[in-house]
Amino acid sequence: MSNEAVSVRNGTTRLESVVRLIAQTCVDNEKYFSDLDAVAGDGDFGYSLARGFENVLSEWDAYDRSDLGTFLQKVATSMSGRIGGTSGPIWGTAFLRAALVLKGKQTLASTDAVEMLRAAIAGIKKRGGADVGDKTLLDALVPLCESVAVDVERDLDAKVIVANAARVARDAAEDTARLEARRGRASYTGERSIGSPDPGAIAVAVLAERIAGEW
């Protein structure tokens, strides 16, 4: 994967394909994500994500594709403008931080993917004041990033890298069931949040699995 680079000029890029898949998957799983959130939260997580990514899909053809960073920034702007609650700032910041990594770039290498994930994680931590162990999407996203970074360093095939990342994300997401929520609406329930997985972490796992399945 280290030698894989996809030109923005040659039709649909790998980045575009992945972003569109993320958007469609969030729309498709609106009820599932909301049902997960309703266990300890306010039940609007799936609804919020779906509305934001519906906006992305509706504006898809109009995005500026002069470079990969600009494209991703436009996606982030239209997405965050429609996501309510705490999800909007968190997911919007993640996409905007990732866009900065690709600013001015015409190709996407595997090392860029790692830096995008790291930038998104840093943005989420700063914006939400959360870290690993607080029962948020970070509990799946950080292990996923670490898995990708290790596999990229080992120069493994792209399909193997995304498959490993999906498996790691799923295990980490399911493991959040043992944690007590420390951020978001679920934190108000205290110990009652123990026993059910975090919906944001599960969403990361679902997205990773969908990407791996379509790679």
Task: Assess if residue 201 is contained within a domain.
Answer: yes
pLDDT at 1 over 80: no
One DSSP character per residue, 162-205 reads HHHHHHHHHHHHHHGGGSPP-SSGGGGGGGGGTTS--HHHHHHH
- Alpha-carbon distance 196 to 175, whole Å? 9
**pTM assigned to the model:** 0.89
pLDDT at 132 over 50: yes
Task: Assess if residue 88 is contained within a domain.
Answer: yes
Task: Give the pLDDT confidence of 98-128 residue by residue, as tens digits.
Answer: 999 999 999 999 999 999 999 999 999 998 8
CA dihedral 125, 168, 197, 30 (to 10 degrees): 80
202 alpha-carbon distance from chain centroid = 11
| Rounded (10°) angle between helices 68-80 and 45-58 | 130
Task: Assess if residue 155 is contained within a domain.
Answer: yes
Task: Assess if residue 2 is contained within a domain.
Answer: no
Pick the closest to residue 210 from 152, 177, 166, 148 (CA basis).
Answer: 166
Domain count, the chain: 1
pLDDT at 185 over 50: yes
Q: What is the pLDDT of residue 79?
A: 85
Q: What is the CATH number of the domain that holds 92?
A: 1.25.40.340
Task: Assess if residue 41 is contained within a domain.
Answer: yes
Q: What is the pLDDT of residue 193?
A: 64
Question: Cα–Cα distances in Å, from 176 out to 32, 90, 118, 193?
Answer: 17, 19, 21, 10
Q: What is the pLDDT of residue 163?
A: 98
- How many helices and strands (H and E) does the chain possess? 9, 0
Task: Assess if residue 9 is contained within a domain.
Answer: no
Task: Assess if residue 4 is contained within a domain.
Answer: no
pLDDT at 39 over 50: yes
Q: Which domain holds residue 42?
A: 14-214
pLDDT at 4 over 60: no
